[in-house]
Structure 1
C-alpha cells in the first residue's frame, strides 16, 4: 500500500507517457512492433486511437431510483409537484416548488425512477380534481368534501387520516379502475420523457409494507408502457409479505416475457427485519425463498435521506468511518425502540456477511447485492447535493427553522427525529454501455453500480489475479480492468495455486465537491468454523501520510469554514488509483470485497442553512460531512 503523493507536473508527465505506452486496445497488442534502432512503431491499419473499439461501459450514469410526487398518497398531502415536474427537474429544468421557491439541479441526472407508492396509486391528484371514479365511493366523497371544505384544520386532519390509512389491512378506497387509469397515465408520461442516449425515464413504483418497519421495495421495469401496462402496482393490500411480491413479479415475467427487479430500502429503520436469517413469517429460510430474493433483488439502497445503511459502529467497532448519518434509535415511527441485537439485520456490510453464511447452508446467497444510493424525497425533486437540499417532504421547505422541524414524533421524546438529522443523499451510479432503459437495467442486474451520499465522484473497481502497478499508470484503467479481471458486482473463481486476489481501484473527484481523502477496501469472509469476519484496509490515500504503529492512517485534516459554509481543496487529492493484494487471503474461504471512497470534510447542508438564514444551531447539529461512495462487491468463491 502506497500513498499517492506525486506533484502535478510529475503526474502529468507520467500519464502522458502512460498514454503512449499502455492504452492501446488489448486486442491490438500483438499487431505492432518496436524497432529499437529508430524506434519506428508499426501499427495495424486501423489501430491508432486507444478509444476506438471499446465495448465496455465508459462513464457512470447518475440517477435516483426512489422519488415521490403528488401521486403518492403520503407525498400528495403536502407536495403539488407532479410526475411530469419530477422528470423535468431531473432533466435539468427549473421548477417552482410547492411553496413557491425556484429550484434547479447543478447538473442534470441521466436517469430517474418516479417510484410513487403502489397503495391507492394516484389517489391524491384524483381526489383534489374530483375524479368521478374516486367520488363514486363513499370514502372518496367524504375525503373530497373535507379536503375542499375551505377549513384548513379539517383539511389537515383529513390528510393525516389518509396517510394513516396506509397502515390498514384493507384499502379504504378499493377502486382498481382508478389505479389502472393513474398507472397508465404515468407509464405514458415516462415513455414521453424517455429519450434514448439523453435521458432514461425508467418506469417503477414503490411497494410499501410493514410501514413502521420499512421493508419497502422499489420495483423497476426494463421495458416501456406496452409491457408495464400488462400489470399493476403490487401493494401491501395484496400482501404485506415481500416473498409474495417476488412471486408476483415472477408470474409477471413468465406471462409477458418482460424483466423486472426490486431494490429494498435502506434497512436501518427495519429493526432487524430487512436482512433476517429467517423467512418473513419467522420460519426457517428455504432455498426457494432465498433464490427468489437473489433473482429479483440484485441491488440494495445503501444510503438515502433517512440515514446511511452501509455500516454501524456497534457492528464494526474498528471502523472509524462506520458512524455516518446513523438513524439507530427506533423504527420509522418511533414506536419500537431498537436494541443492539437488531442492528445485524439492518446494514449492508453485515447482510453481505450473512449472505455467505446462508449460502454455505442452502447453496444460495439471497444477499448477493450491489449498491445504489437514492433520495426517497417526497418533494418531486431529486436533490442530493448539500447546498441544494430540499428535504424529505414539502411540508417544510427551506426556511430558518426547518432544521428543528419534527420529522418523526415518537412516543418517547428521546426517540424523536428532528430535521437536522436528515441526510442530503444519495445517488446511484450505473456503469452502462449507453443511456437507455435496457442498458441501465442490464447493468443493475449484473450489479455494475455504486452508491454515493450525493457526490458525483467517478469510481472504478476491478478484481482479478494479475493486476500490477503498471496498470495504475494509464488514463484508462478500465482497459486493464476488463481484460484482466471482473468489474464491481462480479465474481472471482477459485484462485490459481499460490495466488491471492488483487484489485485495481481508482477514483476521480467530483469537480463540485471535495478532494479525495482515501480509498479503502472492505473485506468480509466466512471461516472454516462458520464464523463471520470483516476487515477494512486503507489502500491508497492523499498526501504523504504514513500509518501509525496500529496501522491507522492519520486524519486528512479539515479546511471547512463553518460560519461561511466554504472549504478549501488544499488538502486531499483530485484522483487516487492503486493496486491492492489481499494480505490475509485463504483460498478455501468464501469472501467479498468492496471499495469505499472517502472525501475530505465539506460543509453539510445544515451549515449552508445556518449561513443563508443567519441562524445558530446547537452543538449537537453536525456542520460538516465526509461524502463517500460504496461500490458493489466482488465475491470470491472457491467452489
Structure 2
C-alpha cells in the first residue's frame, strides 16, 4: 500500500487502539457440518405433474457476495481500520456496525457469501502487535515497533506505520514468526466456521497472495473446505515466493496432501503494467504446457472490476466500443512508479486476455485464460460496500467527509500519475449461480465458471448458448428451463455440430430494484481468425424503447434522467427487463471463439454526486458525477472439431 493511503491524523487511531485491552481475534469455535459432495451439473427437468418448479435441480437465483475484503488483520489495512474479521462477517450478513471513524454503517441488503481475504504477508500482525502479543514482542522488530507505537507521539506513530507498510515490499519478512501466523490463521478459520450457516450465509475461507509489489500480480485464494482442512496449511505469501507459478504448485500440494480443494482469483491486471496476462512465463521464458495447465486449473475465474478501476476493456484496445472507457485507471502501475505505455495494455484487460487465450490454446493445446468473471470490492475498511449511495472507500484513513474526493489515494513521484479519491470506483460484486448457499456449492459454481461480475448493481442475468433456441424460449417466464435443457450456461463449452451450425444464444436480464433500468444487452464476441490473429466484435442484441441501430452500426444513446445536484434519477427511460435470442450472423465453424454478455444500465448518480449533495461541496469539473452500472457474464467458449 502506498504511503499516501495514510495521513498524519491516522496516528491517533493507533494511539486509541493501544489503549484497548484484549485486542485479539475471535477464539476457536466448532466447525459447521456441510456436505462435501460435488453437486451434479446435469439438468433433470420434470415435465410430469402440475408445478413448473418441481424437479428443477439447477440454480434458481444468483448468490451475491464479495471475494476480496480486508480487515485489521491485513498489515496495510490494519494501520488504519479498527474493524475485525468478525465485524466484516456481521456487516456482510446485514448487521449494523460502527466504522473506524464512528459512523454507523449497514448494507441495503445482506450478502449471501463473503471471503475475508486478508493479506498473507505477516498474516495477523497488526492486531497482535497492537495487543502486545508475546510471540510478536519476542522478535526484535516486533519489540521495536510496539515500543514506538506505544510512545504516544503521533509523528512517531505515523512514521512507524509507514515503515510497517513499506516492509511488505521486501524480500524477507521483518517479523518471521510462523507460530504467530498459525495462531492468527486458526483463529480466522474457526471464526469463518462459526459464521458459516449452510443455506443462509457462506463464510468462505480465504486470503490474498500479494506479489510483484507495484506491478500487482495479486491473487485471492479460496478454499472449498472448512477449518479442519484449511488449518493443515498456512497462507502462502510473497515471502515464500514472488512467482505465482510457485503459488499454484503450493495449492496443488495442499490438495494432494489433504484431499481439499482450492482456487485462486487474479485481479487488477489494469495496474500490472503488462504483466498479468503476459504471453511469457513469470521469469520471461516461453510458456510451457505445464504452466498453462496449472493456471487453467487453479484460476478458473478473474476479477475484472473493483475499487481500483474496471478491467473488462480499454478504449485503446477496443476503439469501436463506446462503453470501453469505464472507471479507467491507466496512468501507471499500482504505486505510480512506472508510467503506462500502449504496448502494456494488451496484457492487462480481461477481453484481450480471453482473446490471447485462444491463441495460446492453438499453440500449446491448453487455454490458460479460460476464465469466468466475478466482481469484488477490495475494500480495506472491513465493510463490503459496493453501492453508489453507501460507499465507504478503499480504506479507513479517509471515510465519508467533505474533502474525501480530493484525498490522494496513490501518491506517485510524478504528480500527474497520482490517483485522487474521486477516481475510486464504488464496486463491485460477484454473482454465483449455485443451487444452494453452501461453501461447496459456491466453490463448485466458481470452478465451472457459472458466475458473473457487476460494478455494484444486483441485476439478475442469464446467458446460455446452444443450437436450438427459438424466439418462443424467450417468451417463457422461466427461461432457465430452456437454457439448461437445450444449451450450456455462462462458463460452459459449446462443441461443433456435424454440419457446422451457427450457435444460438438465450439471454435475459432483470433490473436491480434499487438501481437503474436497463439500457441494453450486448454480446461480446472474440475469435481467432484463419490467419491466427485475434478479433472482436460487439453486438447489441436487446435494448429498451423503440430505438433502431443506425447506419453506423450503433444503437442511439438511451438518454439521461440524472439530476446531479440532488443525486437522483428517474426510471422513466430504459426497461425493467430484457430477454431474447440471437444467432451469430458472422459465424465460421472452423474458428475458435468465445461469447459473453454485457448488460448496461441507464445513467444513475455516481458516489461522488451523493457525496457532493450530502456535504454541500462543489467538486472539480473533471470529477464524474454519473455512472452506468454494468454486468459482465462469464464467457461461453466455442471450439471447432
Give the TM-score category using the shorter length. over 0.9
Match of 1:439 among 441, 447, 452: 441
* Counterpart in the other structure of 2:631: 629
Q: How far apart, CA to CA, are the structure 2 residues paired with 1:26 and 1:167?
A: 52
Asked whether the 8 Å contact 1:556–1:571 carries over to 2, the reply is yes
Q: Which whole-Å deviations, capped at 9, do the CAs of 1:365-409 have from their partners, x for residues lacking one?
A: 000000000000000000000000000000000000000000001
TM (norm. structure 1) is: 0.93
CA drift of 1:496 comes to 3.9
Q: How far apart, CA to CA, are the structure 2 residues paired with 1:266 and 1:477?
A: 34
Alignment of 1:177-576 (within 5 A): 177-497=179-499, 499-576=501-578
Q: How far apart, CA to CA, are the structure 2 residues paired with 1:196 and 1:289?
A: 35
SS in 2 for 1:443: helix
Runs of 4+ displaced beyond 2 Å: 25-29
* Counterpart in the other structure of 2:137: 135
Asked whether the 8 Å contact 1:146–1:154 carries over to 2, the reply is yes
Q: How far apart, CA to CA, are the structure 2 residues paired with 1:617 and 1:518?
A: 30
TM (norm. structure 2) is: 0.93
Q: Which whole-Å deviations, capped at 9, do the CAs of 1:246-283 have from their partners, x for residues lacking one?
A: 00000010000000000001210000100000000000
Q: How far apart, CA to CA, are the structure 2 residues paired with 1:331 and 1:457?
A: 31
Q: How far apart, CA to CA, are the structure 2 residues paired with 1:281 and 1:300?
A: 22
Asked whether the 8 Å contact 2:44–2:56 carries over to 1, the reply is no
Asked whether the 8 Å contact 1:26–1:479 carries over to 2, the reply is no
CA drift of 1:288 comes to 0.1
CA drift of 1:622 comes to 0.2
Q: How far apart, CA to CA, are the structure 1 residues paired with 2:289 and 2:550?
A: 46
Q: How far apart, CA to CA, are the structure 2 residues paired with 1:273 and 1:498?
A: 37
Q: Which whole-Å deviations, capped at 9, do the CAs of 1:113-145 have from their partners, x for residues lacking one?
A: 000000000000000000000000010000001
SS in 2 for 1:162: helix
SS in 1 for 2:255: helix
Q: How far apart, CA to CA, are the structure 2 residues paired with 1:602 and 1:148?
A: 47
Q: Which has the larger radius of gyration?
A: 1
Q: How far apart, CA to CA, are the structure 2 residues paired with 1:537 and 1:213?
A: 33
CA drift of 1:425 comes to 0.1
Q: How far apart, CA to CA, are the structure 1 residues paired with 2:150 and 2:583?
A: 65
Asked whether the 8 Å contact 2:270–2:329 carries over to 1, the reply is yes
CA drift of 1:550 comes to 1.2
CA drift of 1:224 comes to 0.4
Asked whether the 8 Å contact 2:495–2:638 carries over to 1, the reply is yes
CA drift of 1:551 comes to 1.3
Q: Which whole-Å deviations, capped at 9, do the CAs of 1:267-321 have from their partners, x for residues lacking one?
A: 1000010000000000000000000000000000010000001000000000000
Asked whether the 8 Å contact 1:519–1:596 carries over to 2, the reply is yes
Q: How far apart, CA to CA, are the structure 1 residues paired with 2:53 and 2:546?
A: 33
* Counterpart in the other structure of 2:17: none
CA drift of 1:495 comes to 2.9
Q: Which runs of 5 or more structure 2 residues have no equivalent in the other structure?
A: 1-42
Asked whether the 8 Å contact 1:564–1:611 carries over to 2, the reply is yes
Q: How far apart, CA to CA, are the structure 1 residues paired with 2:423 and 2:497?
A: 45
Q: How far apart, CA to CA, are the structure 1 residues paired with 2:499 and 2:505?
A: 18
SS in 2 for 1:173: coil
CA drift of 1:497 comes to 1.1
* Counterpart in the other structure of 1:602: 604
* Counterpart in the other structure of 1:69: 71
Match of 1:125 among 98, 114, 127: 127
Q: Which whole-Å deviations, capped at 9, do the CAs of 1:517-575 have from their partners, x for residues lacking one?
A: 00000000001111000000000000000011111100000000000000000000000
| Number of residue pairs matched by the alignment | 599
Structure 2 CA distance for partners of 1:26 and 1:67, relative to 1, 3 Å? closer
CA drift of 1:26 comes to 8.0
Asked whether the 8 Å contact 2:561–2:603 carries over to 1, the reply is yes
SS in 2 for 1:519: strand
Q: Which whole-Å deviations, capped at 9, do the CAs of 1:335-385 have from their partners, x for residues lacking one?
A: 000000000000000000000000000000000000000000000000000
Q: Which runs of 5 or more structure 1 residues have no equivalent in the other structure?
A: 1-24, 30-43
Q: How far apart, CA to CA, are the structure 2 residues paired with 1:52 and 1:147?
A: 62
Q: How far apart, CA to CA, are the structure 2 residues paired with 1:28 and 1:148?
A: 67
Q: How far apart, CA to CA, are the structure 1 residues paired with 2:384 and 2:158?
A: 26
Q: How far apart, CA to CA, are the structure 2 residues paired with 1:310 and 1:223?
A: 30
Q: How far apart, CA to CA, are the structure 2 residues paired with 1:142 and 1:571?
A: 61
CA drift of 1:28 comes to 5.1
CA drift of 1:148 comes to 1.4
Q: How far apart, CA to CA, are the structure 1 residues paired with 2:374 and 2:618?
A: 34
